[in-house]
């Protein structure tokens, strides 16, 4: 295809501003689907975790045809934790659609993804989405977008951004709010007219930067990227240049381009096309595929460094091996090494034979990996997340998060107090719709661990929080961690209603009767500061004399069931989360009570 008939764009936005819904509608209206084809909602979110959580985790490629012009579209994650996905796909596009909610306006993660777009020099088109919302404030939001562009240092060309108004849900895009447009045609035309076609010359030596990795059980690793210069053909010999400038001779056994949601095999492709290639066993993100006679590699793909770490440990609890198929150190190591090949924002360090330290962008970034491994049949234990400090000439520095909180007005003082205690600095406070208040803070990353569940409790479930990495700043001192201790099982056995009835007087339970427990397992949160060991397996002694009404009626409150993220937020430094395909358990690192007491005394 001629490069003049190509447009490569990415869709970027804050979480839940309508990216994936917009792509769905673009695919439908461009005639990508057959008239009789049954299409599910959020068709781009193919991963089961994405569909469950309603978020995009992995960037996805698709394409549409409009007036003989092929538009390659990449749907990107909105969460800052998946910023590595956003950074690398910027190398594949010439423009971005910046989606902004017509009521919420630019959010912290809008700022994050737009900053990455500006750093890559791509041109933005602003799409004010959800104009059908009753509370939409379109003009104010447009002004806020302009302020954000100026704040991020946009150049004159980027400040002269085109704006279009849309309702992705209703499949309508308008150049002006008074337009009577009934479809997405104005948006398609705006993309074709405002986003430049790819640069580069067909006659130059081949440059294909691998920006994403896919895997097929038949063909193996598949490298995905944009052809910056030259052209590529199926079965041709080529050179792969890695980050160390090492050159490896390969053959392109298969070549694909994107048509709709599918990869279609092709014999050749030219400048600007986004293609997938196979036949290269060790191809990695950041590698450049070049011609044999004239290797000309592109600069190495740079991504922001991780800000936190977490240990993944071989499970050694009494219930180890009950649920999982992959439980050994070798299984864990292979799986984590495979993840590092495609997850460019993640790092791996082997601490010992049975402990692996994983570095990531945030709790969500790592917890998605943990949840994915769990569903694949892996079983392991996870330590409490730790932030990564930096020692500089100016002293110790720590990662700072920009935190956005929206709460009912009556709970604002409680939120401000809690985040102040966690060394947070309030940046902004503005009234929102109705009785809601928007609060913005700069908070040390370690101050956010465990706060989300506190926020929900303090605001009766009405509080909403988002955060994005702001940068490194001076260490702010000690932050009070969890103030309450744990309730710990005394012995291995089955929890009884009788044992749990007396245990619930001590705090909040995480388990229900009939559940198997073991010594050292955390079964609840104590109402006091210290840990407390309880026998939850004991049963009421039977006697010969039985009369009606002598047996106690056991009244148990429903247990608090913790999700994976809540479990990671809850545990202390001496505790672990045991993750299996069927269960998530909390436990002490040292299960035996006597050994824990000795360790505690020696530490003091």
Q: Which two tokens stand for residue 440?
A: 């913005």
Give CA–CA dist 501/444, Å, rounded.
39
Point out the annotated binding site for GTP: 16-21, 129-132
Q: Match domain 207-290 to its CATH number in 1.10.10.10, 3.50.50.60, 3.30.1330.60, 2.40.30.10.
A: 2.40.30.10
Portions of the chain given CATH number 3.30.70.870: 308-386
What is the CATH architecture of 390-474?
A: 2-Layer Sandwich (3.30)
Portions of the chain given CATH number 3.30.70.240: 390-474
Phi and psi torsions of 47, nearest 5°? -70, 135
Does the structure show a pLDDT above 90 at 10? no
Q: Percent of the chain at pLDDT above 90? A: 25
At residue 336 the predicted structure's pLDDT band, cuts being 50, 70 and 90, is: very high
Domain 486-541+554-603 = CATH 2.40.50.250 = yes
Provide the 10 A C-beta neighbour count for residue 597: 11
Instruction: For residue range 476-498, list pLDDT tens digits in order.
Output: 888 877 778 999 999 999 999 88
In the prediction, which pLDDT does 245 show? 84
Does the structure show a pLDDT above 80 at 6? yes
Give CA–CA dist 540/547, Å, rounded.
15
* Secondary structure (DSSP) of 151-200: HTT--HHHHS--EEEEETTTTEEESSTT----SSHHHHHHHHHHSPPP--
In the prediction, which pLDDT does 45 show? 39
Listed in sequence order, the DSSP H helices in 343-492 are 363-375, 412-421, 445-448, 451-458
Cα 417 from chain centre: 28
Give CA–CA dist 253/233, Å, rounded.
9
Portions of the chain given CATH number 2.40.30.10: 207-290
Portions of the chain given CATH number 3.40.50.300: 3-194
Burial class from Cβ neighbours inside 10 Å (0-12, 13-18, 19+) for residue 528 reads: exposed
Does the structure show a pLDDT above 90 at 299? no
Instruction: For residue range 511-550, list pLDDT tens digits in order.
Output: 999 999 999 999 999 999 889 999 999 887 655 555 444 4
Give CA–CA dist 228/36, Å, rounded.
38
Does the structure show a pLDDT above 80 at 342? no
Instruction: For residue range 34-91, list pLDDT tens digits in order.
Output: 444 444 443 443 444 434 444 333 445 788 888 888 888 887 654 444 445 566 677 7
Q: Which two tokens stand for residue 567?
A: 């479990």
Point out the annotated binding site: 16-21, 129-132
Contacts with 335 (C-beta within 8 Å, 6 or more apart), sequence order:
326, 373, 376, 378
What is the CATH architecture of 308-386?
A: 2-Layer Sandwich (3.30)
Beta bridge partners of 578: 381, 585
Give CA–CA dist 441/448, Å, rounded.
11
Average pLDDT estimate for 563-588: 90
Per-range mean pLDDT, top range of 122-126, 238-242, 485-489: 485-489
In the prediction, which pLDDT does 38 show? 41
In the prediction, which pLDDT does 53 show? 41
Q: How far is CA 101 from CA 123, 140, 439, 466, in A?
A: 20, 11, 18, 15
Closest C-alpha among 466, 451, 455, 537 to residue 502 = 537
Give CA–CA dist 494/516, Å, rounded.
4
Instruction: For residue range 343-374, list pLDDT tens digits in order.
Output: 777 889 999 999 999 998 777 778 888 988 99
Q: Which two tokens stand for residue 79?
A: 């969460």
Task: Give the alpha-carbon dihedral of 416, 419, 421, 427, to 10 degrees.
Answer: -70
In the prediction, which pLDDT does 552 show? 52
In the prediction, which pLDDT does 602 show? 67
In the prediction, which pLDDT does 105 show? 83
In the prediction, which pLDDT does 490 show? 92
Domain 3-194 = CATH 3.90.1300.10 = no
């Amino acid at each position: 295809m001629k490069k003049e008939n190509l447009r490569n764009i990415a869709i970027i936005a804050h979480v839940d501003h309508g990216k994936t819904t917009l792509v769905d509608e673009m695919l439908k209206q461009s005639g990508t689907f057959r008239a009789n084809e049954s299409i599910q909602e959020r068709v781009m979110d193919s991963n089961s975790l994405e569909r469950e959580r309603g978020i995009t985790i992995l960037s996805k490629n698709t394409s549409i045809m409009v007036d003989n012009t092929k538009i390659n579209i990449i749907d990107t994650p909105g969460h800052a934790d998946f910023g590595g996905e956003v950074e690398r796909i910027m190398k594949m596009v010439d423009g971005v659609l910046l989606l902004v909610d017509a009521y919420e306006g630019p959010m912290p993660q809008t700022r994050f993804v737009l900053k990455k777009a500006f750093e890559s020099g791509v041109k933005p088109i602003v799409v004010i989405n959800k104009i059908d919302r009753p509370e939409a404030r379109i003009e104010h939001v447009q002004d806020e977008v302009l302020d954000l562009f100026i704040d991020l240092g946009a150049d004159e060309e980027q400040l002269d951004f085109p704006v279009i108004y849309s309702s992705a849900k209703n499949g309508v895009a308008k150049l002006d709010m008074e337009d009577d447009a009934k479809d997405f045609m104005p948006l398609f035309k705006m993309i074709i007219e405002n986003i430049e076609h790819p640069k580069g010359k067909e006659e130059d030596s081949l440059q294909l930067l691998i920006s994403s990795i896919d895997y097929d059980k038949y063909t193996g690793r598949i490298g995905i990227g944009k052809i910056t210069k030259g052209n590529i053909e199926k079965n041709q010999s080529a050179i792969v240049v890695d980050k160390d400038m090492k050159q490896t001779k390969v053959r392109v056994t298969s070549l694909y381009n994107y048509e709709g949601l599918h990869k279609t095999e092709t014999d050749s492709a030219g400048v600007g096309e986004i293609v997938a290639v196979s036949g290269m066993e060790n191809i990695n993100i950041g590698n450049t595929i070049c011609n044999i006679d004239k290797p000309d590699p592109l600069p190495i793909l740079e991504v922001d460094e991780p800000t936190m770490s977490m240990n993944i440990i071989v499970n050694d609890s009494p219930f180890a091996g009950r649920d999982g198929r992959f439980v050994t150190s070798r299984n864990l190591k292979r799986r984590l090494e495979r993840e590092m090949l495609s997850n460019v924002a993640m790092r791996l360090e082997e601490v010992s034979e049975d402990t692996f330290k994983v570095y990531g962008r945030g709790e969500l970034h790592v917890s998605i990996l943990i949840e994915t491994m769990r569903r694949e049949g892996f079983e392991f234990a996870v330590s409490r997340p730790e932030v990564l400090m930096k020692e500089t000439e100016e002293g110790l520095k720590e990662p700072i998060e920009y935190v956005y909180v929206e709460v009912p007005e009556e709970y604002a003082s409680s939120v401000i107090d809690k985040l102040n205690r966690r060394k947070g600095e309030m940046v902004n406070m503005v009234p929102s719709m109705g009785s809601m208040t928007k609060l913005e803070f700069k908070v040390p990353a370690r101050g956010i661990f465990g706060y989300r569940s506190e926020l929900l409790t303090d605001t009766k479930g009405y509080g909403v929080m988002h955060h994005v990495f702001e940068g490194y700043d001076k260490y702010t001192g000690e932050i009070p961690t969890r103030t309450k201790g744990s309730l710990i099982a005394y012995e291995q056995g089955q929890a009884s209603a009788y044992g749990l009835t007396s245990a619930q007087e001590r705090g909040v339970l995480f388990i229900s009767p009939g559940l198997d427990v073991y010594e050292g397992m955390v079964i609840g949160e104590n109402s006091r500061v210290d840990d407390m060991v309880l026998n939850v397996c004991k049963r009421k002694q039977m006697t010969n004399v039985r009369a009606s009404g002598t047996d106690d009626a056991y009244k148990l409150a429903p247990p608090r069931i913790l999700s994976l993220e809540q479990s990671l937020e809850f545990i202390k430094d001496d505790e672990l989360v045991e993750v299996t395909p069927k269960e998530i358990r909390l436990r002490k690192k040292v299960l035996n009570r006597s050994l824990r007491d000795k360790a505690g005394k020696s530490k003091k």
